Amino acid sequence: MKYEAISNQLFGKNRKKFMAQMQPKSIAVFNSNDIYPISADSTMPFEQHRDIFYLSGADQEETILVLFPDACNPKHREVLFVRETNAHIAVWEGEKLTKERATEVSGIETIFWLSDFDKVFFDLMTEADTIYFNTNEHYRQAVETQTREDRFIAKCKKDFPAHQWAKSNPILQKIRGVKEPEEIALMQTACNITEKGFRRVLEFTKPGVWEYEIEAELLHEFIRNRSKGFAYTPIIASGNNANVLHYIENNQQCKDGDLILMDVAAEYANYSSDLTRTIPVNGKYTKRQREVYDAVLHVKKEATKMLVPGTLWAEYHKECGKIMTSELMGLGLLDKSDVQNEDPNWPAYKKYFMHGTSHHIGLDTHDYGALKTPMKANMVFTVEPGIYIPDEGFGIRIEDDVVIQENGEPFNLMANIPIEAEEIEELMNRE
């Protein structure tokens, strides 16, 4: 792994939080992700399942975590199974976790080779009444492929039909949404790496560069700072491309007078950052571009103030919509009749701002976290309003990542990343 070692105390705290909410005489199982094939002998780069990483720190394939707080043998309350390594694997694939190293990484004392799983698991299941399955219930999920978890669940239901079943996801949604200090520090590192990439791009960008060249500059800076790369597929959208919300082709030339909407950020130690900035190709916003930019920035600042403990996510978005409506009227994009005659299910402002303002961020860019209950301190949210005007050939979005505080306004993890139009212009025009 490129990242520095993480204290296993974090993973121990996370396991403790999860097990505290398990039913009596229950067992929970978490599988690593598969390595997904491309074709022939080619595979996609391995990405660990975020839940097993959150609970163990194990960051390799063919790994299983078992949590059983009521196990008769205290050594079986936390068990990690890892792929048995040997000299041949070390030569062809590199270092894998030994039993000793698995304990160092995870803080779990009981480590078995994966080949022992069926035997050990059967013995543990004779003591358990309920098994927690790790299903994906994220509100944005749209998974079509069969996962390692899916195969495990099917086999488990066949082999242990008399056990009760429960869901891990509600517990994970609750505890993963509130970050530990170590997690916030890792996210701050990801944001700091993102800052370095953005400042590099401000110096690099000029009329005639290509979107993919900007992408390359960012990737270079991210990787040289111990990131695997982008936390999500990068959006480098110049001109009217910015009006395609998930534009990822990044294959057009950036023209004098246009804006570039960049929704790009680094990961670090599997934790995401999520940044959007919109900059002028030639280093100077036009009067109209600046008007819209300032309107978006105003909405962002006002929305940020509302991210405090007790806020309800749905009500927050309604209030953000009201602020955006006012700004759009000031820009001449909406008038009073548009608002008076709007469809309550699709307010008038949605014509120019059609996505949400905030989402949880953490191990996933669109992270787990409670959305139907009041916000809590140490939840981390994006704030990302935008105004998209195809008829005028540009769109503007601005985004930071902020940590909800017990008292006062959120702490901005991206406070050092240039955001004011004057600062962006100054940095782009520096000799």
User: Of all residues in the chain, what percent carry a pLDDT higher than 90?
Assistant: 94
Please choose, from the candidates 227, 201, 228, the residue with its C-alpha nearest in 3D space to the C-alpha of residue 215: 201
pLDDT band with cut points at 50, 70 and 90 for residue 267: very high
Is residue 318 a part of any domain in this protein? yes
Is residue 118 a part of any domain in this protein? yes
What letter represents residue 21's amino acid? Q
Is residue 2 a part of any domain in this protein? no
State the Cα–Cα distance between residues 40 and 52, nearest whole angstrom.
29
- Whether residues 292 and 330 fall in one domain: yes
Per the structure block, which two tokens stand in for 288? 């109209």
Tell me what pLDDT residue 369 has.
95
DSSP string across 5-67: PPPHHHHHHHHHHHHTTSPTTEEEEEEPPPPPEEETTEEPPP---HHHHHHH---SSS-EEEE
Residue 290 is part of a domain; what is its CATH number? 3.90.230.10
Last residue of a domain, one of 176, 192, 218: 176
- Whether residues 201 and 294 fall in one domain: yes
Question: Which segment of 12-26, 31-45, 246-260, 291-305 scores lowest on mean pLDDT?
Answer: 31-45
User: Average pLDDT of 90-100?
Assistant: 83
- Whether residues 227 and 368 fall in one domain: yes
- Whether residues 208 and 146 fall in one domain: no
DSSP string across 194-241: HHHHHHHHHHH--TT-BHHHHHHHHHHHHHTTT--SBSS--EEEEGGG
Tokens 């960012």 belong to 218
**pLDDT tens digits, one per residue of 139-197:** 888 888 999 999 999 999 999 999 999 999 999 999 999 999 999 999 999 999 999 99
Q: Are 234 and 246 in contact (CB under 8 A)?
A: no
**pLDDT tens digits, one per residue of 199-222:** 999 999 999 999 999 999 999 999
Cα-based distances in Å from 72 to 43, 233, 345, 385, 426: 41, 46, 54, 53, 66
Is residue 309 a part of any domain in this protein? yes
User: Average pLDDT of 349-361?
Assistant: 97
Side-chain half-sphere of 40: how many Cα atoms within 13 Å? 1
User: Average pLDDT of 51-59?
Assistant: 98
User: Average pLDDT of 322-336?
Assistant: 98
pLDDT band with cut points at 50, 70 and 90 for residue 241: very high
- Whether residues 172 and 185 fall in one domain: no
Q: Are 307 and 331 in contact (CB under 8 A)?
A: no
Side-chain half-sphere of 199: how many Cα atoms within 13 Å? 10
State the Cα–Cα distance between residues 60 and 328, nearest whole angstrom.
48
- Whether residues 170 and 185 fall in one domain: no
State the Cα–Cα distance between residues 427 and 425, nearest whole angstrom.
6
Left if phi > 0, otherwise alpha if psi is -120 to 50, otherwise beta: which for 239?
Answer: left
Cα-based distances in Å from 359 to 48, 78, 301: 22, 32, 16
pLDDT band with cut points at 50, 70 and 90 for residue 85: confident
Tell me what pLDDT residue 301 has.
98
Last residue of a domain, one of 176, 208, 243: 176
- Whether residues 255 and 150 fall in one domain: no
The total number of residues shown for the chain amounts to 431
Write out the residue range of the structural domain in which residue 18 sits: 8-176
Is residue 3 a part of any domain in this protein? no
Tell me what pLDDT residue 194 has.
98
Is residue 238 a part of any domain in this protein? yes
State the Cα–Cα distance between residues 129 and 106, nearest whole angstrom.
26
Tell me what pLDDT residue 92 has.
77
pLDDT(77) > 80: yes
pLDDT(329) > 80: yes
Q: What is the mean pLDDT of the chain?
A: 96
Tell me what pLDDT residue 390 has.
98
Tell me what pLDDT residue 1 has.
86
Tell me what pLDDT residue 323 has.
98
- Whether residues 260 and 391 fall in one domain: yes
Q: Are 299 and 385 in contact (CB under 8 A)?
A: yes
- Whether residues 220 and 144 fall in one domain: no
Tell me what pLDDT residue 139 has.
87
User: Which positions are annotated as active-site residues?
Assistant: 41, 246, 263, 274, 355, 359, 366, 384, 388, 397, 399
- Whether residues 105 and 201 fall in one domain: no
Q: Is 309 helix (H, G, I), strand (E, B) or coil?
A: coil
Tell me what pLDDT residue 86 has.
77
Q: Are 193 and 417 in contact (CB under 8 A)?
A: no
**Distant-in-sequence, close-in-space partners of 115: CB < 8 Å, separation ≥ 6:** 84
Q: Is 209 helix (H, G, I), strand (E, B) or coil?
A: coil
Q: Are 54 and 84 in contact (CB under 8 A)?
A: no
User: Average pLDDT of 320-343?
Assistant: 97
Is residue 148 a part of any domain in this protein? yes
- Whether residues 74 and 140 fall in one domain: yes
Is residue 1 a part of any domain in this protein? no
Tell me what pLDDT residue 87 has.
74
User: Average pLDDT of 256-272?
Assistant: 98
Tell me what pLDDT residue 89 has.
75
Q: Is 315 helix (H, G, I), strand (E, B) or coil?
A: helix
**pLDDT tens digits, one per residue of 6-34:** 999 999 999 999 999 999 999 999 999 99
Per the structure block, which two tokens stand in for 37? 């094939």
Tell me what pLDDT residue 88 has.
75
Tell me what pLDDT residue 94 has.
76
Q: Number of structural domains, the chain?
A: 2
Q: Where are the beta strands (DSSP E) in 114-211?
A: 130-133, 164-167
